[in-house]
Amino acid sequence: MGPVILNRTIIQRIFGICATPQPKDEGCWTVSGKRVEVDLARAQELSTPFGAIRLEGKKLPVRLLVVRGDGDSFHTFQNQCRHMGRRLDPVPGTRTVQCCSIGKSTYDFTGQVMSGSAKKNIATFETTRNREKVIIQL
């Protein structure tokens, strides 16, 4: 069986418009050196399985995609497809993330490329939960 394809329009794919928002509450995350902290009490997008946010700016060295798994696990990816650099989205109900572009490169939660145009894996970052904080080590 092939990968599950995220439901996106052809226009969204041509222009590389991802489904995952930046957090509504920009103050829900902070960067300190190589450590990123996300406050779950403020990051409502991560309150349900397969919820996700993209983190950009604040002097981050790379764009990040933070995904809640199907249980209480959290996963962080470099948010840059290894084909042409477009952003990724989680595919609900699967343990994969998928490029928003036409090539639909799909990676598992370890960052390994499973299908699509990309030939290389994406970087993932150690992500742990400590009470109401998600901590990402860059």
Q: Which residues bind ligand FES (CB under 6 A)?
A: 81, 83-86, 99, 101, 103, 105, 116-118
Q: Least distance in Å: CB of 4 to ligand FES?
A: 16
- Please identify, using beta-carbon distances, which residue of 117 and 121 lies nearer to ligand FES: 117
- Please identify, using beta-carbon distances, which residue of 88 and 134 lies nearer to ligand FES: 88
Q: Least distance in Å: CB of 105 to ligand FES?
A: 4
Q: Least distance in Å: CB of 88 to ligand FES?
A: 8
The structure tokens 């989680």 sit at 90
- Please identify, using beta-carbon distances, which residue of 14 and 41 lies nearer to ligand FES: 14
Neighbours of 122 (CB within 10 A): 21
| Amino acid identity, position 53 | I
- Please identify, using beta-carbon distances, which residue of 75 and 86 lies nearer to ligand FES: 86
Q: Least distance in Å: CB of 46 to ligand FES?
A: 24
